[in-house]
Chain A
């Protein structure tokens, strides 16, 4: 868990896939598509270094576009929670 102050953020690091906040409407669609409650999604902490610069707040949904060795590219969603 990231708690250090003034840390250097490296959102374009080779290890970090693309994170983006998705609008409420789209988030709702995701929940509907997977027929689940937000807490059933994988979680991400609000102070995660990869999303610190995006201006997220708890309750947002993050869409992650990963490079995949099997599928080429794949989508993953995480629900932002308080620590």
Chain B
């Protein structure tokens, strides 16, 4: 490798260009609006002036003398005839104008206050960090309000800002426009001390520089002109805009010199302002966009930087790469799990650089002779002197092959066993890019093993995938060490296998290992060979029908189990068929009983046989085991001939009739319920209205009908039915699917309801209005086998569409959440001292996950499993049982580094095990070594893994917002919307609820509980009245309802007391009638306003608590509420103050503190994910919560929180709000320190995370 001079960027300082600087950097003043003359030569002093750099390859730059490749381009400038406001700083100009004096230009805050602020700023004490950041905001707020300057005493006038660029001052004389020139004059008088209090850096950003006098003209390389096929030159959008500016500037200059009336001059100034504004940003609200001749809006500076396709996200954070390929994928179960099939055509384009050595020179010569068109060959040869030879152009390759010497670099075709990176978008987690070994195959698609589909989330309905070829030894080494498929078997999300048997592999494994499977010696040896078995064959354990010796399927499976492997679990088959628990028994590597199905070798199944083998014997063994089993099972099921078709769904006529009879019976029940409803005799429950109750009953009945139909169909099928086998082994589908195919499809729903609307009072025009027959509301009696009627088909399509819309919306939402999570967490890494920090050293956690265990290396979240360890030791243990003391001393010795919980687990397991002393010691030793292996490694990108582990399951969550949780009356947001709400740290969740536990004395007492609930429930006047009357001018009458008062436990006196604070009326109480006599006569509108205010007055209870329900939980009454207000609920008597819960995390932060908020956040996140059946390790949830709470208040995951408060300017700019971020950085003279991830990607250096954390420090030998 040649030695390269490497210059590292230490940092980037942002600042505002002063006019002097603009002129200093300028190589030419641009005055001519023309670009090229008639001859096509650049005009001198025009926008394409040769001094601004050069575009054509042959040309030399007039400034630096370099050719196009080496000339960086040079700035020019335009001298503006009138100063112009810079649009990016317009908000700052406004704020400064508001807060400084119009005559003395000091901040309009008394000197004492300024000194006080200065003191806070100067204070070296570390605890003022937060207060320091708020100084500018506080000063501006104060200064704005001053009517008079505290420094010079001059009166201040109101300032009106008309967006985007006009400032008007309202003086006694009248309205008076503040021209840029005046603003500039004022700003230049502001003193440095005032500026630095506002956190401006007066050295790099004087405010007068916000007003442009000279406009920099970017070099031509920034705005190259392109020549169309027609030969017409087409200029860049920026050049067009600059032409406009120069034209107006010229006209303005001329009219000023000619003495044109000021009004016309002002119009020209405004036009110049418009053009310069749109030059900087063509999406400013309030002014029309500048358009191209074709009508397309111009893409000016801001538009170039902003957004997904902008410079930051589109060209700097992500770039197009060489040595990559993309094509359709297709399955190939004959491949190894870790392989990828690459089409020959692709292999011949992608190359790998290989240096010619003594040992490979012969092989290389052969490859060179093959050349670029014959596989395996070579595309390029690089000689040691750096000359690159393209073999396409070489006539005689055998001569060139002879000239090859050691040290030459050969760019050879991709070949078998090369390592490549394979990826499918969306890349939601680390397993979306894995390293595979190449297998060059005929055909045009990438081939992969069906069992690696789950991590990629791939299928073969036309999916395409990408392939990248690492080019350096380092990259290949890293890919092999970290990214191979076998090292990704265990998902870091939950510490269980994500890769495993799927679909027919599962069915096959079941068919192979069920009790009556018999294999002849011939078959057995064939399968064993296929699985890669090389040892001696075991003894046949059974006999075939003809009496010849034969093997069982279990024996075949056992061949590939490690010989000291012991395990027992309950198969899905056993669970599904009501068999016994722990039916699968493996003893010393021998499958004794039970069938192998999804629970044993399936994908995404923790605690399976596959998981245990991978965990206990290593990833390589696990992968080989899976490989052998899969290929064998594939062959077995192929020979077996397993299929599923129409015939497998046929139900005997009598059962079919039964299904129809059952459904019509249900229809009768529904008709009966409707009758009852109409007569008003329907039994109501749970506070539901009659219509709601009817609907709930009907839905329930119809649901039962579908289940019954499904059951009838399922029962009619025999046990060997292929569909049933697939469902019970977990290969594919469920009993529900079979039921829908052979029984009845059941109720179709939209938004969780039956189809009730669409047309007036009916769902489809084919029905009569108000038809109560279930058919009219989307109940499908048919099944997929018989087919749907036209009307049923419509209903089915309605439900189907909802699913499609849901998926589309969900992918968008969860994608954005994922982006925000990644952005907030990408820079969080594990340090050498075990702490979790951001790159500026801020601690997020003192010990990762509070126990320092890496989930991917853990055993389903645990460092290791002590009881399993003890159990397997027990199988080989001998000798006297250890005493309690011995166990204690041994555990003490070995568990020093363990967390308290793990220590307890170990101690308990050992005490229960009954092992001998040496056995105990062996377990302890093994445990300790497993523990050490499971610890996180320094540099680990724990932030990114966390973000992925929470973001990825987001794509699998339901979008359905509402769900009945526990009791029917309480709606709770669940799924993705709730997850987003939580990471957003919203002030108020969409559905706030509380769980209020009661004091000991009241717990068991229902009456007491009701009384307390009444005190919690907010009771407004409106809830107590029967009617109101008003004459709309002098009085309002409230007629209270006795019933309602009783219901709510209120008295008239209480209502009176609640209203007494209102001074607008006098009260007169007569029994249940309260008359409010207004103090003064008012108009109708005011009367109504007063009445509404009165009705909204709280008489009793806690504001915001809209509904309460009593629920009995383990002999204890708990109040559940809709609406939340923890601060006020704590004041209510009789509740257990220490156990009041709310789902409003933000509220908790305010009332119980930041630590309580963290706890609640963890709780809520756990529940939200858990309710959806998604397993996410609690370490990730803790890390996100700790990060969100690490600054003492709840920070959002997003631009207003963590991503927005990052130290790095570039990282913030690359996330959202690009241009304002950069402008703000320039004001403060911020320095980009390039410590995070995004920043370093942008500048193109190594990222300081994972293997990039490590640096090599070398002591240069001292001279002796």
Establish whether residues B1151 and A70, one from each chain, have CB atoms under 8 Å apart when the complex forms: no
Contacts of B1137 in A (CB 8 A): 8, 10, 13
Q: How far is the CB of B861 from chain A (nearest CB, A)?
A: 8
Minimum C-beta distance from B942 to chain A (A):
14
Q: Contacts A49-B1150, A70-B899 given: A34-B1130 contact, CB under 8 Å? A: no
A41 CA / B1189 CA spacing, docked (Å):
12
- Which A residue sits closest to B1150, measured CB to CB? A2
Question: Which A residues touch B1193, using CB under 8 A?
Answer: 1, 45
Least distance between B792 CB and chain A CB atoms (Å)? 49
Q: Are A50 and B1138 in contact (CB under 8 A)?
A: no
Chain A residues with a Cβ closer than 8 Å to the other chain, count? 49
Residue contact B849 to A75, C-beta cutoff 8 Å: no
Contacts of B1140 in A (CB 8 A): 10, 13
| A2 CB, nearest partner CB in chain B, Å | 5
Docked Cα-Cα span, A4 to B1207, in Å, equals 31
Whether A50 touches B1154, Cβ cut-off 8 Å, given contacts A7-B1127, A15-B1159, is: yes
Binds A, one of B70-78, B122-130, B310-318: B122-130
Q: CA A48 – CA B1193 in complex, angstroms? A: 9
Whose C-beta in chain A lies nearest to the C-beta of B848?
A70
CB neighbours of B1151 from chain A (8 A): 2, 7-8, 10, 49
Cβ-defined contact, A16 with B1155, below 8 A: yes
Taking A7-B1151, A19-B1155, A49-B1151 as contacts, is the C-beta distance between A70 and B125 under 8 angstroms? no
CB within 8 Å: A-B pair count:
172
Task: Using known A-B contacts A35-B833, A71-B851, determine if residue A10 contacts B1138 with beta carbons closer than 8 Å.
Answer: yes
Q: Is the CB of B847 within 8 A of A74?
A: yes
Is B1192 touching A45 in the complex (CB atoms < 8 A)? yes
A41 to chain B, nearest CB (A): 6
- Beta-carbon nearest neighbor of B862 in chain A: A70
B128 x A42 contact (CB < 8 A): no
Residues on the B chain within 8 Å of A69, using CB: 1178, 1182
Given that A42-B1190, A45-B1192, A48-B1192 are known contacts, is A81 also in contact with B901, CB under 8 Å in the complex? no
Closest B-chain residue to A82, C-beta based?
B131
B904 beta carbon closer than 8 Å to chain A: yes
Residues of B within 8 A of A29 (CB): none
| B669: Cβ under 8 A from any A Cβ | no
A22 within 8 A of B: no
When C-beta atoms are compared, the residue in chain B nearest to A69 turns out to be B1178
Quote the shortest CB–CB distance from A83 to chain B (angstroms): 6
Binary contact readout A7-35 vs B (1 if CB under 8 angstroms, 0 otherwise): 11010111111010000000000000011
Residues in A neighbouring B845, C-beta threshold 8 A: 76
Contacts of B1155 in A (CB 8 A): 16-17, 19, 44, 50, 64, 66, 76, 78
Name the segment of B497-505, B524-532, B836-844 touching the other chain: B836-844
Q: Does B1160 count as interface, using CB distance less than 8 angstroms?
A: yes
> Cβ of B400 < 8 Å from any Cβ of A?
no
Please state if B847 and A15 are interface contacts (CB–CB under 8 Å): no
The answer for the CA separation of A66 and B1140 in the assembled complex, in Å, is: 19
**B1208 sits at the interface (CB 8 A):** no
The verdict on B835 contacting chain A, using a C-beta distance below 8 Å, is yes
Contacting A at CB under 8 A, from B789-846, are: 833, 835, 837, 840-846
B579 contacts the other chain (CB 8 A): no
Residue numbers in B under 8 Å from A12 (CB-CB): 1138
Q: What's the Cα separation between A65 and B45 when bound, in Å?
A: 72
**Known contacts A34-B835, A59-B127, A71-B850; A4 and B1190 CB within 8 A of each other:** no
Is B1131 among interface residues, defined by CB-CB distance under 8 A? yes
B604 within 8 A of A: no
Q: A39-B126, A41-B843, A58-B127 are in contact. Are A13 and B1190 (CB under 8 A)?
A: no
Chain A: minimal CB distance from B1000 (Å): 14
Residue numbers in B under 8 Å from A2 (CB-CB) = 1149-1151, 1153
Q: Contact at A80–B127, with CB atoms within 8 Å?
A: yes
* Of listed A35, A59, A68, A73, residue having the most chain B CB within 10 A: A68
Q: Is the CB of A82 within 8 A of B128?
A: yes
Interface pair B130/A81, CB less than 8 Å apart = yes
Contact B1153 A40 (CB under 8 A): no
B1154 CB contacts on chain A under 8 angstroms: 44-45, 48, 50, 78
Selected from A1, A8, A74, A79, the residue in CB contact (under 8 A) with B127 is: A79
CA distance in complex: A40, B836 (Å): 11
B597 within 8 Å of A by Cβ? no
B198 CB, nearest partner CB in chain A, Å = 20
A contact residues around B861 at 8 Å (CB) = 70
CB–CB B851/A81 < 8 A: no
A55 at the interface (CB under 8 A from B): no
**A72 CA to B835 CA, complexed, in Å:** 18
* Known contacts A38-B127, A43-B1190, A78-B1192: A68-B851 contact under CB 8 Å: yes
- Which of chain A's residues have a CB closer than 8 A to the CB of B1190? 42-43
- Quick check: is B1186 within 8 A (CB to CB) of the other chain? yes
Chain B positions within 8 Å of A79 at CB level: 126-127
A70 in contact with B1179 (CB, 8 Å): yes
Residues from chain A with a CB closer than 8 A to the CB of B841 are: 36-37, 40
* Alpha-carbon distance between A19 and B1155 when the two chains are bound, in angstroms: 9
Given contacts A71-B900, A81-B1192, contact A34 B846 (CB under 8 A): yes
Q: How far is the CA of A74 from the CA of B594 in the complex (A)?
A: 43
Contacts of A38 in B (CB 8 A): 126-127
**Once bound together, how far apart are the Cα atoms of A34 and B836, in whole Å?**
11
Q: In this assembly, does B1156 line the interface, its C-beta being within 8 Å of a C-beta of chain A?
A: yes
Asked if B853 is at the interface of the complex by the 8 Å CB criterion, the answer is: yes
- Assess whether A75 is in contact with B127, with CB atoms less than 8 Å apart: no
Pair A13/B1139 contact, Cβ less than 8 Å: yes
Closest residue on chain A to residue B904 by CB atoms: A72
Contacts of B899 in A (CB 8 A): 68, 70-72, 74
A residues within 8 A CB of B131?
Answer: 81-83
Q: For B842, give its contact among A15, A17, A40, A71 (CB under 8 Å).
A: A40
CB closest residue in chain A, given B1191:
A43
Interface 1/0 per residue, B1126-1138 and A, CB below 8 Å? 0100110000011
Q: Do A70 and B1178 form a contact, CB below 8 Å, given A34-B833, A38-B126?
A: yes
In contact, B1192 and A36 (Cβ under 8 angstroms): no
**Interface pair B127/A70, CB less than 8 Å apart:** no
Contact B850 A8 (CB under 8 A): no
Task: Give the Cβ gap from B181 to chain A, nearest Cβ, in Å.
Answer: 42
- B:844-903 near A, CB below 8 Å: 844-847, 849-851, 853, 861, 899-902
B1127's contact among A4, A14, A77, A80, by CB below 8 Å, is which? A4
Which residues in B have their C-beta under 8 angstroms from that of A80?
Answer: 127
Give the complex CA separation of A12 and B1136 in angstroms.
11
Chain B residue nearest in CB terms to A10 = B1137
**Residues of A with C-beta under 8 A to B1152:** 10, 13, 15-16, 49-50
Docked complex Cα distance between A83 and B1192 (Å):
10
Neighbour of B846 across the interface among A17, A72, A76, CB < 8 A: A76
Minimum C-beta distance from B137 to chain A (A):
13
Task: Say yes or no: is B1148 at the interface (Cβ < 8 Å to chain A).
Answer: yes
Q: Is the CB of A42 within 8 A of B125?
A: no
Does the CB pair A70–B1153 fall under 8 Å?
no
What are 28 pairs between A and B in contact, CB < 8 Å?
Answer: A8-B1130, A8-B1151, A10-B1151, A12-B1138, A14-B1138, A15-B1148, A15-B1152, A15-B1160, A16-B1156, A19-B1155, A37-B841, A38-B127, A44-B1154, A44-B1155, A49-B1153, A59-B125, A66-B850, A68-B1182, A69-B1182, A70-B899, A70-B1179, A71-B847, A71-B849, A72-B904, A81-B130, A82-B127, A82-B131, A83-B131
The 10 closest A-B pairs by CB, nearest first: A50-B1153, A72-B901, A71-B899, A58-B127, A72-B900, A15-B1156, A43-B1192, A71-B851, A74-B850, A71-B850
Given known contacts A34-B833, A48-B1154, A81-B128, what 17 new A-B pairs fall within 8 Å (CB)?
A: A1-B1150, A2-B1149, A16-B1153, A17-B1155, A17-B1156, A34-B843, A34-B846, A37-B841, A42-B1191, A43-B1191, A45-B1154, A51-B1153, A58-B128, A68-B901, A73-B901, A75-B846, A76-B845
A residues at B contact (CB < 8 Å): 1-2, 4, 7-8, 10, 12-17, 19, 34-45, 48-51, 58-59, 64, 66, 68-83
